[in-house]
Amino acid sequence: MSYKVTLIPGDGSGPEVIAAAKRVVEATGVAIEWEQAEAGAAMIEKYGTPLPDETIESIRRNGVALKGPVTTPVGTGFRSVNVAMRKIFDLYANVRPAKTYPGVISRYDNIDLVVVRENTELNIWLAKMRQKASNSSPEKAAKESSVMLSILPSEKAERK
């Protein structure tokens, strides 16, 4: 049985990153059929958008994609491909596991954690709450509503 995966190399360092990621995935032995798709700043000239409809449809059809870094054109009126994909596919969580393994040199030992960051509503909610609390403008409230999350290692984690 093989799985069909949308492959979006991106631009800039994207193709190099995706080539390495493909080798890792292929080393698992799982049969993957890659369906190449396009995204990034260079697509604006070709399709009029950094995220072409064909790419969106490929992801919908396959249900999974591997995407490399893409350039976000600044000051051109186009939103980031990442933001667009989060909205289109309702990708509401950014899940980042982190684990250390014996024998692998790393800054800390005994780490096994998962950070979950909400992608879609939190900043809007925080901006609205700050605006309500301070009677400030929506623009000022949004600028003041960035969130910083610091995770300190537990006493079991050992810094090298």
At 96 the pLDDT is 87
Would you say 59 and 42 are in contact if contact means Cβ atoms under 8 Å apart?
A: no
What percentage of the chain has pLDDT greater than the value 90?
A: 44
Residue type, 20: A
Would you say 82 and 40 are in contact if contact means Cβ atoms under 8 Å apart?
A: no
- How far is C-alpha 8 from the geometric centre of its chain's CA atoms? 13
Least confident of 81-85, 100-104, 137-141, 145-149: 145-149
pLDDT at 28 over 70: yes
Would you say 120 and 94 are in contact if contact means Cβ atoms under 8 Å apart?
A: no
What is the pTM (predicted TM-score) of this model? 0.67
Give the separation between CA 37 and CA 50, rounded to whole angstroms: 12
Give, in degrees to the nearest 5, the angle at Cα 6 between 34 and 92.
150
Q: What is the 8-class DSSP label of residue 30? A: -
Q: Which of 43, 52, 72 is nearest to 6 (CA)?
A: 52
Place of tokens 């976000």: 72
As given in the structure block, the two tokens for residue 60 are: 């919908």
Q: Average model confidence (pLDDT) for the chain?
A: 80
Residue-wise pLDDT for 53-79, tens only, equals 999 999 999 999 999 999 877 777 777
Output 28 or 123, whichever has higher pLDDT: 28
Strand locations in 79-127 (E): 93-99, 108-109, 112-118
At 32 the pLDDT is 95
Give the pLDDT band of residue 136 (cuts 50, 70, 90). low
